[in-house]
């Protein structure tokens, strides 16, 4: 197959600001794809001047992403790494393929008659255990402080718990509750290496979020930790736990290597990109 020109658009104002600290499965998958095809990265709110300079344009975000409402017709094909459930179906109909981060979202997309592909994973070369590291953190939860991440629900763990993340404008109550109970807190946006090393030191990863934290689940599993998802209503996050439990995999990491590595992720993305370009 010919070498394709691919535009990757992370249409978010802070994208370039945090790029150096961004180390997840999507970035690693794109790096794999870049060995076969040519990728141009567009950050913040920048977009290609002419989409037809590219064979394929891949967006990352939700179905209300602003550029999706005004995509021009032409030779360029379009795809979206869908970060949430599909809500704006009109926008999604303008795309050639929708990459879904869970089986739950994939079913919702297919129920609309749109083309969906399961595509998700984590960087297994980066997130991996280190058996020489002492497991001196009893509970670890990496997440921004906000009501939907619900740090207050696990604040009772006190100094057994380490919470790391930024504080959202609506997250002060979550932060205060943790401070009151003596939770160990590190506030800010940190290099991925620091978070990875906390996973390696953690005995348990605990996730009380109302929704989201799917990446946290995969990162923990890749570090050979089966996380405790305490909210049964968090369907997408719980779906990975159930899938692992039904898989007969030898270990959490073995499950990730087979099903959700960044190489598996790259293969799924290429399946959608190459088949429509």
Q: Is the residue at 53 inside a domain?
A: yes
Whether 162 and 104 map to the same domain: the answer is no
Whether 12 and 67 map to the same domain: the answer is yes
Whether 73 and 160 map to the same domain: the answer is no
Taking only the tens place, the pLDDT of each residue in 9-23 is 999 998 998 888 889
The reply to whether the predicted model has a pTM over 0.85 is: yes
Residues 189, 167 contacting (CB under 8 angstroms): no
Q: Is the residue at 181 inside a domain?
A: yes
Pairwise CA distance, residues 232 & 248, whole Å: 22
Q: What CATH code is carried by the domain that includes residue 206?
A: 3.40.50.2000
Whether 209 and 249 map to the same domain: the answer is yes
Whether 162 and 249 map to the same domain: the answer is yes
Taking only the tens place, the pLDDT of each residue in 195-220 is 999 999 999 999 999 988 999 999 99
List of the chain residues with pLDDT < 50: none
Structural domain count, the chain: 2
Whether 96 and 174 map to the same domain: the answer is no
Closest CA to 32 of 277, 214, 255, 268: 268
Q: Is the residue at 68 inside a domain?
A: yes
Whether 160 and 242 map to the same domain: the answer is yes
How many beta carbons lie within 10 A of that of residue 267, not counting itself? 15
Q: Is the residue at 237 inside a domain?
A: yes
Closest CA to 187 of 235, 126, 146: 146
Whether 75 and 148 map to the same domain: the answer is no
Q: How close are the terminal C-alpha atoms of the chain, in Å?
A: 10
Whether 168 and 226 map to the same domain: the answer is yes
| pLDDT for the residue numbered 277 | 60
Q: What CATH code is carried by the domain that includes residue 107?
A: 3.40.50
Q: Is the residue at 130 inside a domain?
A: no
Residues 225, 139 contacting (CB under 8 angstroms): no
- How is residue 80 written in tokens? 């979206």
Q: Is the residue at 29 inside a domain?
A: yes
How many beta carbons lie within 10 A of that of residue 44, not counting itself? 15
Q: Is the residue at 115 inside a domain?
A: yes
Pairwise CA distance, residues 83 & 68, whole Å: 14
Whether 117 and 211 map to the same domain: the answer is no
Pairwise CA distance, residues 276 & 166, whole Å: 39
Closest CA to 195 of 138, 125, 143, 260: 143
Whether 116 and 14 map to the same domain: the answer is yes
| pLDDT for the residue numbered 139 | 98
Q: Is the residue at 145 inside a domain?
A: yes
Per-residue DSSP letter, 167:
B
- How is residue 180 written in tokens? 């009151």
Domain with 238 in it: 137-259
Whether 99 and 9 map to the same domain: the answer is yes
Pairwise CA distance, residues 14 & 35, whole Å: 27
């Amino acid at each position: 197959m010919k070498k394709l020109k691919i535009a990757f658009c992370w249409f978010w104002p802070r994208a370039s600001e945090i790029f150096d600290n961004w180390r997840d499965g999507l970035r690693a998958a794109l790096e794999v794809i870049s060995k076969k095809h040519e990728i141009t990265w567009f950050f913040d709110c920048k977009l290609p001047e002419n989409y037809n300079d590219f064979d394929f344009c891949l967006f990352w975000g939700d179905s209300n992403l602003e550029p999706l409402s005004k995509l021009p017709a032409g030779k360029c094909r379009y795809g979206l790494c869908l970060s949430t459930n599909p809500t704006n179906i009109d926008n999604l109909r303008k795309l050639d393929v929708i990459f879904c981060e869970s089986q739950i979202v994939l079913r919702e997309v297919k129920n609309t008659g749109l083309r969906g592909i399961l595509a998700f994973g984590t960087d297994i070369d980066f997130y991996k255990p280190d058996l020489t590291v002492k497991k001196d953190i009893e509970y670890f939860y990496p997440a921004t402080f906000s009501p939907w991440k619900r740090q207050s629900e696990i604040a009772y763990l006190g100094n057994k718990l380490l919470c790391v993340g930024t504080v959202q404008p609506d997250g002060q109550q979550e932060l205060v509750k943790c401070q009151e109970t003596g939770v160990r807190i590190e506030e800010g946006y940190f290099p991925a290496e620091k978070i990875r090393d906390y996973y390696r030191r953690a005995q348990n990863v605990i996730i009380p979020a109302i929704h989201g934290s799917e990446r946290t689940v995969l990162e923990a599993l890749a570090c050979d930790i089966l996380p405790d998802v305490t909210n049964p209503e968090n369907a997408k996050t719980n779906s990975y736990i159930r899938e692992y439990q039904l898989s007969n995999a030898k270990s959490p990491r073995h499950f990730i290597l087979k099903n959700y590595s960044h190489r598996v992720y790259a293969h799924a993305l290429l399946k959608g990109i190459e088949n429509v370009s």
